[in-house]
Amino acid sequence: MASDGARRQFWKRSSHRLPGSIQHVYGAQHPPFDPLVHGTLIKTVPKTPTTPVKPKKVSTFQEFESNTSDAWDVGEDDDELLAMAAESLNTEVVMETANQVIQNHSRRQEQHRVPEERVCRDREQPEHFSNLPAGMGPDSRLVKSVSESHTSHSAEILSDATPLQRSQSLPYASTAPLGYGSDDKNVLGPPALTEREVYRLEKFRQLLAGPNTDLEELRKLSWSGIPKQVRPITWKLLSGYLPANVDRREGTLRRKQKEYFAFIDQYYDSRNDEAHQDTYRQIHIDIPRMSPETLILQPKVTEIFERILFIWAIRHPASGYVQGINDLVTPFFVVFICEHIEEEVENVDVSRVPAEVLRNIEADSYWCLSKLLDGIQDNYTFAQPGIQMKVRLLEELVSRIDEQVHRHLDQHEVKYLQFAFRWMNNLLMREMPLRCTVRLWDTYQSEPEGFSHFHLYVCAAFLMRWRKEILEEKDFQELLIFLQNLPTAHWGNEEVSVLLAEAYRLKFAFADAPNHYKK
């Protein structure tokens, strides 16, 4: 009898630890137990009296069975649990509940945090960002409202916890398109400015707004690239076309534009004369070969380029027009017209640009081209001695930088003149996309003798960029085809920046030491 009592006391003492009993589990995958919601799961069970009671005359097993809710038993509790489980698997119910929770949470967070975050943002906003448009942060991105940010954040958590079908994904709030940035590589639309780019743009604007622009400081700032928004005025200053004094710029522009169109009235009608018809004919043939074709082949653009090139050739009889000069007009024209358009330059319809604006762009392009060619005019005089000399210097420089590459080209009888002549004649414009040329010219404009002297080191770095591919080619024809069709179509600002950094390193190492490393 004593043993029976001990058994009964054991089962009563350990009834909450019996195997098979259902216990509520709380955690990341289970919501807190709410008696109001889960009231059907709660059964009123009389408390076990603390005072000893007279044991009932039942068997030990019967008492154990009555105090145990086993998972394998079929009863009312199990039916309710199965029904709830089936209901919880309904995707529509899950989505509706999730949306309600997210919306309620977003409204509460918006009420509590919007005033607080506005105060913090106003306190932390730097002074030079105070003039940015409404809705723009320091990095020039559109700032989402707090409700949107919490909605997207909650949706991400929900998607991680419960995989949903694509067609049933949570709705999201649409945002306005982002503004233009400084990277021209993105075809679908330039990305937002980074915080560093906003800071650099502000520095440019402050420097350009002064009564007398510090050109030396402007060159230092422009070496690593010029923001698209201030590139036109910066190029005009760095090329020497515009004066540093702000008060003189407007008068200089009007005077130079008037002077250019006086040349048009004086010389352009002579293009069909016997003395000049060959020059005009060659210009007329070369322009359709330029890129981008969608821009150049527009009749208005073709006429502008013909006038610019013909007037320059007439006014510089020592060299006249030479193939290759036509390519050098394009970067100036593209940069200056981008100041007056919103779409990408490849998609612009020039006929919609006001005639007065086109006249100013034409005159500015002519004078900036003239300033550039004044520094490299020996490239285009008879027999082009400037290019011949630069190709020889490139060959000597490569032999000092990488003797293995130089010997490999020599063994396969590849002459530098066969591929590097075009590099010097067109300033690498035929070797990389137009966006890369514009970025390259940012640095050329800021370098002393950038188009003549620094360009040599850029060409050397450009050749070394393809060292591995060059050494893998074992045939003259394959080598020459590769060097004349280098795979740069995907290049952007990052690749050009690396190229310029390597060119600067080579210049620093070899420019002032002509006999260094020379055998």
399-455 pLDDT, tens digit each: 999 999 999 999 999 999 999 999 999 999 999 999 999 999 999 999 989 999 999
Q: Please report which confidence band the pLDDT of residue 95 belongs to, taking 50, 70 and 90 as the band edges.
A: low
CB–CB of 375/240 below 8 Å? no
Residue 448, C-beta contacts closer than 8 angstroms, at least 6 positions apart: 454
Separation of alpha carbons 137 and 116, rounded Å:
17
State the CATH class of domain 385-512: mainly alpha
Buried b (16+ CB within 10 A) or exposed e, 18-27: eeeeeeeeee
Tens-place pLDDT, residues 26-36? 444 444 444 44
CB–CB of 425/384 below 8 Å? yes
Q: Please report which confidence band the pLDDT of residue 296 belongs to, taking 50, 70 and 90 as the band edges.
A: confident
CB–CB of 438/334 below 8 Å? yes
Q: What is the DSSP string of 439-491?
A: HHHHHHHHSTTIIIIIHHHHHHHHHHTTHHHHHH--SHHHHHHHHHS---TT-
Tens-place pLDDT, residues 242-254? 999 999 999 999 9
Q: Give the domain ranges of the chain.
A: 210-375, 385-512
Neighbours of 151 (CB within 10 A): 22
Q: What is the pTM of this model?
A: 0.64
Separation in Å, CA 170 to CA 88, 149, 158, 256: 18, 14, 9, 60
Buried b (16+ CB within 10 A) or exposed e, 410-446: eebebebebbbbbbbbbbbbbbbbbbbbbbbbbbbbb
